[in-house]
A and B are shown apart, each in its own frame.
Chain A
């Protein structure tokens, strides 16, 4: 078995070092190696989106990516969203619009929404639903999640205008 090695990653703006084997999935390096347990393992088959993180700003499923593939890239997890105890506008929108019940899918939803809103600051509902296709919620149905993303879009646009 190839020896484990130290991998340097940039996570949430910080340089971190974590021990991985070549086969270690990014999600396991995040959770087990670095204690960043906000990234969830749902299906482990690239379907449910609970493990979504940002890689250089783009949403990816960290269960379908090796940790070594992330070397040299900027990884953002849900832990990187709030600033100084202040929720990110997308997080706030999910709280205010009941975009979660149990919360298991929420980190993935928020990170995918972040990718969407970077590209499409004012998406219609069909665009939001299409973007969230790879994120499953088993509690709420999706209406309040779509409402949350729409509200987040408005908040982010107003934040930029201010």
Chain B
């Protein structure tokens, strides 16, 4: 295996076009799966020093650079507003201090662990994910991005550069999980958004092959009995479905309290 450190994004994209090349950012997901020999890259394209980080807020959207770490999300003042609070809340519960210092938003979304937290938040907030290749750039919605366990719409020579969140003024958001006590991964995690027009969205993670939105015009929790949920030795199907209801309702309540300013 080779390691290269491109000094520009264009060089990185060129490097990623090589067969079995992998982008290395913080390495908190990639290195563990490499140690298990699940992934065996021929070249690691180390994008860790590229200028792909940062929290950029404009009037109607938030843009997060792919290299933004969990630690940066947790402490970003821009994410204190109720509409985006789910992002900081979710980031603060990921892994541990050391992992949050290194782990990045883009790396985690590309890895797409079915029990990772942030996919639920990008789904509920209706984010767009910006993908760049040497041949050009495209944008896919969070819903189109997650395809299955560790499987996404990201092409082999593509890199996530940014995640873009629409700003719905006056809305509230939250992320709540019941986590596995040892690993910290979600046994059931729910991200909720409540909007001033009465609309509400809930996305779940840790439930199956991938995080997903609960489809419903009225109360998203009503869609739970029909949701495809898997069971394992930590949480059988019916228990996990029960947990999903609990975290979904708690997330909706907290998002509403934030919207109305009645939290804390």
Interface residues of A (CB under 8 A from B): 2, 22-23, 44-46, 49, 52, 55, 58-61, 64-66, 68-69, 71-72, 112, 115-116, 130-135
Chain B contacts with A in 73-102, Cβ cutoff 8 A? 95-99, 101-102
Chain B interface secondary structure, helix, strand, loop or mixed? Answer: mixed
Given known contacts A65-B31, A69-B24, A134-B95, is B102 in contact with A22 (CB within 8 Å)?
no
Given known contacts A2-B2, A65-B27, is B35 in contact with A45 (CB within 8 Å)?
yes
A30 to chain B, nearest CB (A): 15
Q: Is B38 in the interface zone, CB < 8 Å from A?
A: no
Contact among A22, A55, A59, A64 with B31 in the assembled complex (CB-CB below 8 Å): A64
Q: Is B242 in the interface zone, CB < 8 Å from A?
A: no
Q: What residues of B have a CB within 8 angstroms of the CB of A69 in the complex?
A: 24, 27, 46, 48
A56 to chain B, nearest CB (A): 10
Q: What residues of A have a CB within 8 angstroms of the CB of B24 in the complex?
A: 66, 69
Q: What residues of A have a CB within 8 angstroms of the CB of B96 in the complex?
A: 49, 133-135
Q: Is B56 in the interface zone, CB < 8 Å from A?
A: no
Assess the B28–A134 pair: CB atoms within 8 A.
no
Assess the B101–A59 pair: CB atoms within 8 A.
yes
Instruction: Determine which residue in B35, B49, B71, B98 has the highest number of CB atoms from chain A within 10 A of its CB, and name it.
Output: B98
Assess the A46–B28 pair: CB atoms within 8 A.
yes
Assess the B97–A68 pair: CB atoms within 8 A.
no
Q: What residues of A have a CB within 8 angstroms of the CB of B3 in the complex?
A: 2, 22, 66, 68
Assess the B44–A61 pair: CB atoms within 8 A.
no
Q: What residues of B have a CB within 8 angstroms of the CB of A131 in the complex?
A: 97
Q: What residues of B have a CB within 8 angstroms of the CB of A52 in the complex?
A: 98
Q: What residues of B have a CB within 8 angstroms of the CB of A60 in the complex?
A: 98, 101-102
Q: What residues of A have a CB within 8 angstroms of the CB of B101 in the complex?
A: 55, 58-60, 115
Q: What residues of A have a CB within 8 angstroms of the CB of B28 in the complex?
A: 46, 64
Assess the B2–A66 pair: CB atoms within 8 A.
no
Contact among B1, B35, B46, B99 with A61 in the assembled complex (CB-CB below 8 Å): B99
A141 to chain B, nearest CB (A): 16
Given known contacts A112-B97, A112-B98, A133-B97, is B32 in contact with A22 (CB within 8 Å)?
no
